[in-house]
Structure formats: C-alpha cells, structure tokens
Amino acid sequence: MRSSSHVSGTTCRLHVSDEVRALAPGFGYLTVEAHGLANGPSDEAGAALLDEATRRLAERLDGRAPQDDPHIAAWRAAYTAFGSKPSRTRNSAEALARRALADGGLPRINRLVDLYNALSVAHLVPVGGEDLDRIQGDMRLVRAVGDEPFVTAADGAGTVEHPDAGEVVWCDDEGVTCRRWNWRQGVRTRLTEDSVSALFLLERMAPMTLDELTAAGAELAGWLRQACPDARIEIGDVQAP
C-alpha cells in the first residue's frame, strides 16, 4: 500500500512508500504546481522576499540555533532513523536557515529558486522545486537500493553518484532527483532560467501542523502569481497519515 497525491489537471503523481511512512509517521507534504512561468535572473522583488524571510526566521528562533527549533529537531530525528548524520548532511530547511543567519546571507540563484528558498526560510520548512518538463514519469519517495543513478556536479562537470542502501530518496523513472530526502537536489530536474513548468514540494514533520503547511503553500502560490501573473497555479491537497 502506497500513499499518493494527484491534483486534477496536473502531470505528475507523487507516491510515498510504506517503508518511508513507517520510518517517519509524522511526515506530510503539499504540492504547488505551476505552468506558464516566466523565470529569469534574480531580481529586486526576490531579494526583498529573501531579506524579509530572514527577518521572519530570526523572529521565530529568537536567538536559538535552527536545530533547536522543534520542526528542525523532528527532521533531524528522521534523518537519524535512516542512517544519515543530520549535523553533516542537513535537511534543506536547516541548511538554508544557517546560511540566512550567517554573514553572507542567502544566495541569489534565479527568480523561481529565490521564491521557494524565501518560503523555506520564512516557514522553516523544506521546499524543493522541480522542472516538470525534465521529470520522467511519477515521483516516488522510497528507501534506495543503492544502485540508482543520481546526476550531480563536481568541479563544474556532471557526474553520476549513487545513494547509500536504505537512504531515503525522491526519484522518477530515470533516477534519483533528490538525495537524503531533501538534502541535495540533482542537476537534471532543477529549475533553470529556461524553466516554464514547475512542481514545488513542501515537506513537513510533526509538530508542524497541517494548517501551517497549508498556509505556507498558499503563501508560495501567492508569490508565484505576483511574479508570474499569466501562470496557472494549482495547490494540491495536504498528504499526511
């Protein structure tokens, strides 16, 4: 038995394996799908959102380190459960939060990536963005066998790695799209300045509530509509045990 979600009119189904559900029963996710996007280089609007997200993060943490937030602590526990060391391979929300609070601040990548990075920092929730035109078939959250291909970059050149056996990964019909749940995205499906269709994935662990996850998804959809007024945006239903 596998859990799945699908929004009417969308092009990609998501499935979560029973093994992952058993590993982290507090897991849940929400998708925001967008078509007709107009991406491009980072701009002032995105920079303002990143700066405001950093302010919201600092207010939420109130002097604490990101790993001391209950939501990040829950993600760390999930990483430990599948054999990853959460202080070495941090979930994407914690990694971004640490960068936001450091002297250099958050990176500027492109308009769409800046939007979902800002959302991740503002809500302290892992958010990923996939180019739907590069996804092959459905997306699945599974525990890896260990021989699945993962295309990444090393020293500026493309290279193929493989996940550890038992590692939690997102994958499609062609291979792994994101390693260690939401630690590192592959280059094959990442959003570039040429991307016009995207799937944004917001991932939650209890104690983040489903209402909080829904609010985060709605805020992202609102930002996308402001940035790309002609785009078609669809918010999926919250998927949780």
Segment 70-93, tens digit of pLDDT: 999 999 999 999 999 999 999 999
Burial 10-22 (b: 16+ CB within 10 A, else e): bebebbbbeebbe
Does 158 or 218 have the greater pLDDT score? 218
Tokens of 224: 């996308």
- Mean pLDDT value of segment 117-130: 98
Judge residue 6's burial from the number of C-beta atoms within 10 Å of its C-beta, 0-12 exposed, 13-18 middle, 19 or more buried. middle
Whether residue 7 has pLDDT greater than 80: no
pLDDT-derived band at 23 (thresholds 50, 70, 90) equals very high
Q: How confident is the model at residue 66 (pLDDT cuts 50, 70, 90)?
A: very high
pLDDT of 6 higher than 50: no
Give the mean model confidence (pLDDT) for residues 127-153: 97
Tokens representing residue 189 in the block? 């499906």
Structure-model confidence comparison of residues 5 and 114, the more confident one: 114
**Residues facing residue 5 across a β-bridge:** 14
Q: Is residue 10 predicted with pLDDT exceeding 90?
A: no
Locate 181 and state its tokens.
């749940």
DSSP-derived pairing of the beta strands 157-161 and 150-154 = antiparallel
User: How much is the pTM?
Assistant: 0.94
Rg (C-alpha) for the chain, rounded Å, is: 17
Would you state the pLDDT for residue 8?
Answer: 37
* Residue 4, pLDDT score: 52
The region, left, alpha or beta by phi > 0 then psi within -120 to 50, assigned to residue 45 is alpha
